[in-house]
Structure 1
Amino acid sequence: MKIQKFLLVFLIILTTFQTKADEGMWIPMLLEKYNIADMQEKGFKLTAEDIYSVNQASMKDAVMIFGRGCTGELISNQGLLITNHHCGYGQIQAHSSVEHDYLTNGYWAMSKEQELACPGLNVTFLIRMEDVSTQVLNGVTSEMSEEERQKTIKKNSVEIAKTATAETHYEASIKPFYYGNEYYLFVYEVFNDVRYVGSPPSAIGKFGGDTDNWMWPRHTGDFSLFRIYANQDNQPAEYAADNVPYQPKKYFAIAMDGVKKDDFTMVFGYPYKTEEYLTSYAIQQKLEIDNPHRIKARQKKIDILTLAMNADAKVRIQYAAKHAGISNAWKKWIGESKGLTRMHAVEKKEVLEKRFQEWANSTPENKKKYGSLLPQLKTIYTKLTPYRLAYAYYYEAGVSLDIVSYAGYWEKLITEKKIDTNTVENLKKATTGFYKNYNATTDKKLVTSLLQLYYDNVDANYQPTILLTIKNKYKGHVKAYTDQLYLKSKLVSEEKAMNLLNNFNGSTLKKLEKDPLYLLRKSIVALYDFKIKDSLLVLNNQIDLLQRTYMEGLLAMDKDKLFYPDANQTLRVAYGKVNGYEPIDGVSYKHYTTLEGIIEKDNPEIYDYDVPDQLKTLYNKKDYGQYAENGEVHVCFIASNHTTGGNSGSPVLNANGDLIGVNFDRCWEGTMSDIMYDKDQCRNIALDIRYALFIIDKFAGADHLIKEMSLVRKNPVEIKVE
C-alpha cells in the first residue's frame, strides 16, 4: 500500500512539472515572440504575420465572434460564413414553425433574395489588439483598497477605449489577463446585418443529439451558413434591402485533401473561459458542491423535457434550443468531474501549492507578500461552501425556470407602482415572444420537480420563504402548491397575461402584487438578495484579490516557464496535431469517422438517429462527387488542440492555413481541460469540411454556394458513381 501511494505521488509530481505538448490558448500578437518557432517545428508553413497582422490582411480578418458566444469564419469573397449548426440553432428555431420546420427539414437559400434576415444577430471582427497594462495600471498603488484600485482601472480603461475608437465606427474593450496582472485593448468592427443562408436538417446537423454530445466517435454534420451584408461602401450597417454582401479582407480557402494522423492543426477562435490556475480548494469545491448538485438539477429538467418533446412536435420545436443548452452543460460537468478525479487534479494542485509555499517562505520579501496567501484562500473557500450550494439551487431550481424568469419581466411595473405606457407595450412584445416557446403542461412539471429538489437538498436557512409556505400550508406537498399556482396566477398563460396588459389600470397593479407567480419569484429573489448575494460578493472579491496575487507569485516563481492566459472570449490560437486516443484500458479510437458510421447508427425509431432517406440513397449509390477520400466520405476528425466553449464554430486549419474543418466539440474524457489539460485524453472534435460541402452540394443541391468558395487540392480525385 505504501509503495502504491509513493508511486501515485511520484506520478503526480512528474506530471505537474512536465511540459505539456499542445496545451495552451495563445495570444495572436505574441506568436512571433513565444510560439511561431514551435509551430513551425511541428509543421506549420506560414509566419506569425500571416496569422495576425495590422499591416496587411491576415487570418484574423477571416475569423469573427458569431452572435454572443460562438466563432465563425469567412469562406468566400461574398461574405459567406460557416459556423456550427448549434451556434445558428437559435436563429434556425426563430425562423421555424410547424408549417416551415427548418429545424427538422433544413433550409437552403437558392439565391441571395431567399436569404433570411436575423434581427439581433451580429458578427464581430478584431481590428487590432494592444498590451495596455502600463496605461491601465497607471496610478494604481499597493496601498490602495481593492475598490480604489478598480475605480482607477475603470477610469483609465474608459479613456484608453475612447481614444482608440475616436473618429471611427469601431468599438473597443479592455480585458484583464492573468487575473488582472496584465491588460489588453481590443478594437472591433461589428456587422449587424447577418442573414441565414442555410443549414442541414437536424437529422444531419444534430445527428446523435444529446446522446452523442461530447462523445467520440462522432458523426454530426454540425454546421450552418450565414452571410454578412454591408452598405454600398462595404461598411457595417443596420439591415436594409439594398445592403450588399460584404467583401472581406481575407477568407479561407478550403483544403480538399483532408487530414492524416500527426498532421499539424490549428484552431483560431474566441474561447470563452478557462480556469487553469485554480487552487486545490477551488477544484475540490467544484467536485463536491458545484458540479454534483447542478448535474442533479439538470438531470430532472432533461428527463421532463425529453418526454414532452418526444410526445409532441410543437413542444419539440418550442424547447429544442432550451433542451440543448441545459443538456450541454450537464454532460460537460459530468465529464469534467470524472476527468479531474482521474487526473488526481486536487492532489496535483496540492503538490504545486506545497512548492509555492516553500518558495514563498524562502525570503523575507516573498514571505511578506505571499506567505499567508494559500492559508487565507483555504479559509475563504471553506466559508464560501454553503453559499455556493445555496446559489446552485437558487439558479437551477429557481430563477432559471422559464415561468419564474418571465415573472421578472413584470417587476418594473409592480415595484414602481405606476402605469407606464412604454413599459406596458414592451411587456406585450416580450410576452408574445416568451409564449411562442412555452408549454404550460411541461412548465408545470418542471416547476413542481425543481421546487421539490430545492426543498429536499438545501438547508432551511437558505430556502426561499415560499418553501416554508409549502411545508406549513401544503404539508410539504409541492404539487398541491403548484396546482394552485397554475390555477390562480394570471401570468401562466398568454391569454391571461395579454388580457391584463390590454386592460391595464391601477387595480391591475394590486392584483399583480398578490399574483402567486409573482410572489414565488419575489420569494426566490429575496432569498438571494438578503441571504446569498452579499456574502458571495464579499468572499468572491477576496478570492479574486488573492488569486491575482497567487498568479503574480506563480509567474515570479517559474520565470522561465511560458504561461498562457486563461480564455476570456478574446482571439486565441491553439495548435496541435491530428491524433486518436485511448479513453479506457483496451479501447483505442482512430482519428476520423465516415458516412458509413452514420448508416450503421441509423434507427428510424429514435429521433436523433433517423438518417434522412436522401442521405442513405447517396450512400447506397456512392454518389460522393469530389468529396470522397479513398471511396469514403469523412465526417469528423479529432486533434489535440486545446479548446473550450466559444471555440464552437472555430476554423480548424492545416499547415498552409487552409480550412480543413469546423470545430464543434471536445471528447468527453477531456472536458476537464478548462481546468487541467491532459495531452493523452484531451481532443477537440471537428467537422471535416468536405462533409459540409458534400451536404451542401449533393444533399441540398446548393452548388451555387460551392462555386463561391476557393477549393484547393494537391492530389487529383477520381469521381465514381455506382
Structure 2
Amino acid sequence: MWLPMLIKRLNHADMQKKGLQLTAEEIYSVNNSSLKDAIVQFGGFCTGEFISKEGLLLTNHHCGYGAIQSHSTPQHDYLTDGFWAKSHAEELPNEGLFVDILVRMDDVTGKVLEGIDNNTPETERAQKVGQRMQALAKEASNNGEYVTYVRDFFNGNEYYLFVYNRFTDVRLVGTPPSSIGKYGGDTDNWMWPRHTGDFSMFRVYMGKDGKPAKYSKDNVPYKPKHHLPINIADKEPGDFSMVFGFPGRTKRFMTSQGLQLEVDQLNKSRIKLREKKLDLWKQDMDKDAATRIKYASKYASTANYYKYSIGQNEGIKRMKTLEGKRADEAKYQTWANADAQRKALYGNVLSDIDASYKEIETYNLGSIYLNEAILGTESLLMAYRLMPLYTTLKGNDAAATQKAVEDLLPRVDAFFKDYNMPTDKKVFAAMLKFYSEDIAKDQQPAAFKNLVAKYKGDFNKLADHVYSNSFVVSEQKLKDFLKNPTAKKLENDPAFAIVQPIMENFQTNIAPKIGAANAKLATANRLYVAGLRQMNPNFVYYPDANSTIRLSYGAVKDYSPQDGVLYNYYTTMEGLMAKEDPTNEEFEVPAKLKQLYQAKDYGRYANDKGEMVVNFITDNDITGGNSGSPVINGKGELIGLAFDGNWEAMTGDLVYDADYKRCINVDARYVLFIIDKYAGANNLISEMTIVDTDSPGAGDAAKAEAKTPQAELLNATMTEAQEKLRAGKTEFKIEKKKGDAKVKLQVKD
C-alpha cells in the first residue's frame, strides 16, 4: 500500500518490469493531469473514480447503498428494482454525501519533529507534535478553501500533509437492483468464486465558477482533470493490475501481544454481539417490506465485519500468524541486545508493549461493549446523542442549547426514517443482558446495577419499561421535548438514565486507564518500528493504511485455497445462473438478466470465448476503504472495481499473505453490460471512453509470440488435442503445417 508521491523513487522500476507503461508522473503529479485526479474518497469510507469528463463517478453498490436506501420507499424501491437516470435532471441529490479529491501531499516529517528526539519527554513530544500537525493543516487549508490534515506514518516516525478539494453535491445516477449489486448476499460475502455486480454510479457537481458548492439546481457537472478510459479486452493471468484508493486501517506492525488481544477480545465479542443483533433484525426484516428497507443498510454494514471477524480468527490460526510474530520478535530482541547503544534504546520495547497490552486487556471489554452493545442499540445511541444538549441545559446556556437543538433535528429525522421500535426493543433486551453478564461488575456503574436488581435481571421487563416511557423511541415525543427541553426531563427519561451513567463511568473510570496504557503503547510501538527499519536497512517498508490515498500493484492471478483445488481467475454468468435460487433472496436473478443470458445477448462485452465475465481476481493488496477502487491496467485504463477480499486471507489487516491474498473485482465489461444491455442507459455509455485493445502485462511477450505462424499452429494443435482428450482418446498423433512452420504432436496412453 504505497504512497503515490513516492512511487517514482521506490516502485516505478519494479512496476515497469511487471507491465506498467505509464511514467511515474502520469500516476502522481501535482502540476499536471495524472491518475490521482481520477480517484476520490467517497463519503469518507469508500473509493470512487471518474469515468467521464462530465464528472460521472463509479463506485461499489455497497458503497452507494446508504444513498440508494435513503431514496427507496415501498412505492419506489430502488434497492429491489434499481434506478437509472436518463438525464441530469433525474439524478438524485444526497444530503451529507461528499467526495474528496487529492490536490497534493507533502512530507512534513522535518517540520513536525524539528527539535524532537528520543530524549524528549513523551508528554512534551505529544503536545508539540499535535500542535504542529494542526498548524500545518490550518496553513495549507488556505482559509478553509481545502480540506487538510496531517497523518502520522510508521507509528509516528514520519508525517505527511494531505490537501483535498471537497465536493458536497453528489447525485445518484444509477444502480442495478440488489439482486445484481448484492448477488450472493451474506452467504457469498468474502468468498470466491463470486458473481456480484457490485457497482453504482454518481455524478459530482460544482458551482458555475468551477469550485465546490452546496447542492443547487444551478450547479453544473464537475470537469475532472483526468478520467479513466474503460478497457473491455480480455485479461489473462500475469496481466499487470494496480489498485488506487483509500484503504482504511491495517495493523501489520502490531506485535503478537496485540494480535492475541484482537483474537480473544475484539473479534470474539464482535462475533457474539453482532450475531445476535443480526438475527433479531433479520426476523423482523423477513416479516415486513418496510422494515426490510429501513434496516437494509444497517444490516449489510453490521454483517460485513461480523463475518470478517470470524474469518480473521480462523485465518490467524491456519497461518500460524501468532507463531510467526513471536519468531520475528525474538530476532528483534536478539538484534537489540547485541549492541549496548541499541539495547539502551530498544532493549525494553517488547516488554513495554507486553505490559501495556496487559493493562489494556483489563478494561478493553468495557470499551468494546460500549460501542457494540450499548451504542449499538438504536434507542441508546439516540439517548447518547442528547448528552451535549444535557450539558448546555445544565450550564443554563440558552444560545448553546438552541444550537444543540438545531443540530439534533436533522439527525432525528434521519434516525426515525430508518427505525422500527419493536425491532430495537428486542435488541435492547439482548444487548443489555450481555453487558450485565460479561462486563466486570466493578466496571459497571452503580445506577445500572441497581436497575438490573430492580427488575431482577429480567431484561424483557426492563425493555417494556423503557420503551413505554422513553421519549427517544418516538419521533413525535422527541420533537415535542426538543421544543422545550429541560435537564430534569432528560434525567427522568429511562433510556437516557441508562446511557448517562454508563458513559460517565466509562469516561471517568475506564477511558483514562485505557488512555494511559495506549500512550505507553504508542511510545513503545514507535520505537519498535524505528528499530525494525534500522534492523533491516535494505528492506523497503510501506506504512500501515490509515485512510490516506495508496496504490498497490500486482497481477491478475488464480490461486489454490487447499490441496487439490484450483480457483480460476474469473467467473461468468454460467456460474451466476448455476447459483440461482428463486426461494432465496440472496440468489434471485432478475427476469431480464435471465433473458439476456439465455439469448447470450452480451454484445461487445463478451470475452473471446463468448462468455460474459462477471468477476475476476488479482493479488493486489487491499482492505476496507478500498471498496470501489479502480483496478487499472498498465496503460492506465479501468478494467474493474475492487469490492471484496477472499475468505482464506482474512488476516490481511494484520499480515499480507502472498499465496492466499486476493482482491475480488467486478469486471468492467459486466458493469457496462448491465448499464447498456440490462438497463438500456445508453446516455451513460455514450459519456465514457471505451477501448478494446489488449492490456499490457507480464503476458505480453506470450501474446506477441502467439501471433507468429509457429505459435498459431501450436495453439491450434493444443486445442485439437484437448478436444480429443475430452472425447476419451488416449493415443493419437496430430501434424500441422503452415509455410515453413511445422508442428507434430504425439500422445501415448
CA distance in 2, matches of 1:32, 1:143: 34
Select which of 414, 428, 435 maps to 1:447. 428
Select which of 691, 706, 711 maps to 2:685. 706
Superposed displacement of residue 41, structure 1: 1.1
Superposed displacement of residue 170, structure 1: 2.6
Superposed displacement of residue 291, structure 1: 0.8
Alignment check: 8 A CA contact 2:448 2:498 kept: no
Q: Which amino acid aligns with 2:534?
A: A
Q: Are residues 1:40 and 2:16 paired?
A: yes
Superposed displacement of residue 84, structure 1: 0.5
Superposed displacement of residue 694, structure 1: 0.6
- 3-state DSSP class of the match of 1:183? strand
Select which of 644, 656, 659 maps to 1:680. 659
Q: What root-mean-square deviation, in Å, do the aligned CA atoms of Structure 1 and Structure 2 show?
A: 1.7
Q: What are the Cα deviations for residues 356-387 of structure 1, in whole angstroms up to 9, with x where unaligned?
A: 11111111100110111111211221121121
Partner residue in 1 for 2:57: 81
TM-score, normalization by structure 1: 0.93
Count residues in correspondence: 689
Select which of 148, 157, 170 maps to 1:172. 148
Identify if the C-alpha distance between structure 1 residues 642 and 505 changes in structure 2 by more than 3 Å, giving closer, same or farther: closer
CA distance in 2, matches of 1:395, 1:79: 37
CA distance in 2, matches of 1:393, 1:165: 37
Superposed displacement of residue 234, structure 1: 2.2
Partner residue in 1 for 2:627: 648
CA distance in 2, matches of 1:96, 1:326: 20
Superposed displacement of residue 166, structure 1: 3.5
- 3-state DSSP class of the match of 1:378? helix
Identify if the C-alpha distance between structure 1 residues 623 and 328 changes in structure 2 by more than 3 Å, giving closer, same or farther: same
Identify if the C-alpha distance between structure 1 residues 256 and 173 changes in structure 2 by more than 3 Å, giving closer, same or farther: same
Select which of 664, 670, 691 maps to 2:649. 670
Q: Which amino acid aligns with 1:517?
A: A
Alignment check: 8 A CA contact 1:399 1:524 kept: no
Partner residue in 2 for 1:478: 459
CA distance in 1, matches of 2:390, 2:131: 35
Counterparts of 1:514-663 in structure 2 under 5 Å? Answer: 514-629=492-607, 630-663=609-642
Alignment check: 8 A CA contact 2:63 2:627 kept: yes
Superposed displacement of residue 232, structure 1: 2.1
Q: Which amino acid aligns with 2:203?
A: R
Q: Are residues 1:66 and 2:42 paired?
A: yes
- 3-state DSSP class of the match of 2:666? strand
Q: Which amino acid aligns with 1:222?
A: D
Partner residue in 2 for 1:15: none
Identify if the C-alpha distance between structure 1 residues 584 and 228 changes in structure 2 by more than 3 Å, giving closer, same or farther: same
Select which of 422, 428, 437 maps to 1:456. 437
Q: What are the Cα deviations for residues 612-662 of structure 1, in whole angstroms up to 9, with x where unaligned?
A: 111111111111111111221111111100100110010001121110000
Partner residue in 2 for 1:392: 368
Partner residue in 1 for 2:718: none
Alignment check: 8 A CA contact 1:340 1:676 kept: no
Alignment check: 8 A CA contact 2:234 2:694 kept: no
Q: Which amino acid aligns with 1:531?
A: N
CA distance in 2, matches of 1:465, 1:106: 51
The range that moved more, 541-550 or 386-395, is 386-395
Q: What are the Cα deviations for residues 436-484 of structure 1, in whole angstroms up to 9, with x where unaligned?
A: 1111110011011111222222221223445523542222221121111
CA distance in 1, matches of 2:420, 2:330: 54
CA distance in 1, matches of 2:570, 2:447: 53
Deviation above 4 Å: which 4+ runs of structure 1? Answer: none
Identify if the C-alpha distance between structure 1 residues 296 and 505 changes in structure 2 by more than 3 Å, giving closer, same or farther: closer
TM-score, normalization by structure 2: 0.89
Q: What are the Cα deviations for residues 406-457 of structure 1, in whole angstroms up to 9, with x where unaligned?
A: 0123223434244644433443433222111111110011011111222222
Alignment gaps of 5+ in structure 1: 1-24, 717-722
Counterparts of 1:194-343 in structure 2 under 5 Å? Answer: 194-343=170-319
Partner residue in 2 for 1:183: 159
Partner residue in 1 for 2:121: 145
Superposed displacement of residue 144, structure 1: 2.6
Alignment check: 8 A CA contact 1:138 1:156 kept: no
Percentage of identical aligned residues: 45
Q: Are residues 1:434 and 2:415 paired?
A: yes
Alignment check: 8 A CA contact 2:352 2:520 kept: no
The range that moved more, 571-580 or 542-551, is 571-580
Identify if the C-alpha distance between structure 1 residues 545 and 262 changes in structure 2 by more than 3 Å, giving closer, same or farther: same
CA distance in 2, matches of 1:469, 1:208: 46
Identify if the C-alpha distance between structure 1 residues 462 and 258 changes in structure 2 by more than 3 Å, giving closer, same or farther: farther
The range that moved more, 297-306 or 406-415, is 406-415
Select which of 85, 107, 121 maps to 1:131. 107
Alignment check: 8 A CA contact 1:274 1:566 kept: yes
Partner residue in 1 for 2:676: 697
- 3-state DSSP class of the match of 1:536? helix
Alignment check: 8 A CA contact 1:139 1:152 kept: no
Alignment check: 8 A CA contact 2:359 2:514 kept: no
CA distance in 1, matches of 2:485, 2:627: 47
Superposed displacement of residue 167, structure 1: 7.1
Identify if the C-alpha distance between structure 1 residues 490 and 173 changes in structure 2 by more than 3 Å, giving closer, same or farther: closer
CA distance in 1, matches of 2:234, 2:94: 33
The range that moved more, 625-634 or 152-161, is 152-161
CA distance in 1, matches of 2:243, 2:10: 17
Alignment check: 8 A CA contact 1:397 1:454 kept: yes
CA distance in 2, matches of 1:245, 1:280: 50
Identify if the C-alpha distance between structure 1 residues 580 and 310 changes in structure 2 by more than 3 Å, giving closer, same or farther: same
Counterparts of 1:341-356 in structure 2 under 5 Å? Answer: 341-356=317-332
Q: Which amino acid aligns with 1:678?
A: D
Q: Which one has a bigger Cα radius of gyration?
A: 2
Q: What are the Cα deviations for residues 60-90 of structure 1, in whole angstroms up to 9, with x where unaligned?
A: 0100111111110000011101001111111
CA distance in 1, matches of 2:517, 2:582: 52
Q: Are residues 1:97 and 2:73 paired?
A: yes
Superposed displacement of residue 257, structure 1: 0.6
